[in-house]
A and B are shown apart, each in its own frame.
Chain A
Amino acid sequence: MKKIIFLALFFFSQALLAIDPTDYRNAEEEQRFRSLAAELRCVMCQNQSLADSNAMIAKDLRLELLSLIREGKSDEEIKQFMVTRYTDFVLYKPPMRPGTWLLWFGPLLVLLFGALSVFVIVKKRSAAMPASSIPNNHPQDDSEQEW
């Protein structure tokens, strides 16, 4: 058990080493760097965040990210910096614009459509209920039963 924990810690620390470009000046800086690096997408290997990627460009962008933080840029300014160079692709959370409305509200639309369908079907069935609830299963009608 101890071995497993040791190994897990060992590999985890290796992973962290890959992420950190340098020493942080303080905890706040580290916190900001980590959250931004997790929110930005690596442009080279697009299924990884900037924090996860080991690509050359991801390393460069992490360094750039840190220096932008040190320059006193706000999170918004930093994201804008990335977007003007690499488009919305770098944002894991796409911005709300007319072009992305379908992306943001599409699922809600589908949900509403589904709810409406269920509502209509239930309403129809309950309206038809009194008529169909009249027992019509006479023993003689067995021959008409569809099997």
Chain B
Amino acid sequence: MSTRFLPLIAFIGLALLLFVGVRMNSGKDNSAIPSPLIGKPAPPFSLPVLNQQDRMIKTDDLKGQSYLLNVWGSWCPACQIEHPVITELAKSGKVKVVGYNYKDETEAANQWLQQFGNPYDLILFDEAGRVALDWGIYGAPETFLVDAGGIVRWKHVGPITPEIIEQEILPLLESKQ
């Protein structure tokens, strides 16, 4: 008698597994690769500043203050979407916002900044995009939070929203003070 229910029990087990699997993944962006850099020092780089090709900035130069590294490019439509949000955060003065101009051209980048505004404290210019590989960047926009000690604390793939700032970035900034 009890064996008669065995297939049913097996089916319920499978259904449960499916349910849990779907629940675990719902609402998450599964294409976003988690950063292996979290909790590790920011990768060393040396990049020129946009419009100041002679002024090189190294990873260590940014130490001493936490900063948001925002990857953008004039070729990236989603960057336009998040730009007002980034601008507002930069204006609030809660965190220093560093731009990382990824695989762009100087002229196009400047035009874009003129059109949408420049909220950045500093813009690193990486035309070849080689530094992106070390950071595990694979597109734009992407945003990192690096603490004063130069440790990467957080990463987000895709446009930043006010909710993300409220729920993820600000609590991280506050927890460190």
Verify that A and B bind, or say they do not.
yes
Is A85 in contact with B36, judged by CB distance below 8 angstroms? yes
Q: Which residue of B lies closest to A60 (CB)?
A: B129
Which of the 9-residue segments B19-27, B55-63, B133-141 touches chain A? B133-141
Contact partner of A46 among B31, B103, B134, CB < 8 A? B31
Is B132 in contact with A86, judged by CB distance below 8 angstroms? no
Bound Cα distance A101, B31 (Å): 23
Q: Is B39 an interface residue (CB 8 A)?
A: no
Is B103 in contact with A84, judged by CB distance below 8 angstroms? no
Indicate the size class of the contact surface on chain B: 10 to 19
> How far in angstroms is the closest Cβ of chain B from A103?
13
Q: Which residue of B lies closest to A90 (CB)?
A: B33
Contact partner of A86 among B31, B130, B136, CB < 8 A? B136
Is A43 in contact with B138, judged by CB distance below 8 angstroms? yes
Q: Is A77 an interface residue (CB 8 A)?
A: no
Q: Is B34 an interface residue (CB 8 A)?
A: yes
Is A56 in contact with B36, judged by CB distance below 8 angstroms? no
Q: Is A61 an interface residue (CB 8 A)?
A: yes
Q: Which 9 A-B pairs have the closest CB atoms?
A: A43-B138, A57-B138, A85-B136, A89-B33, A87-B36, A44-B138, A86-B136, A60-B129, A64-B133
Q: List 12 A-B contacts (CB under 8 A).
A: A56-B103, A60-B129, A60-B130, A60-B132, A64-B130, A64-B133, A85-B36, A85-B133, A85-B134, A85-B136, A86-B33, A86-B138
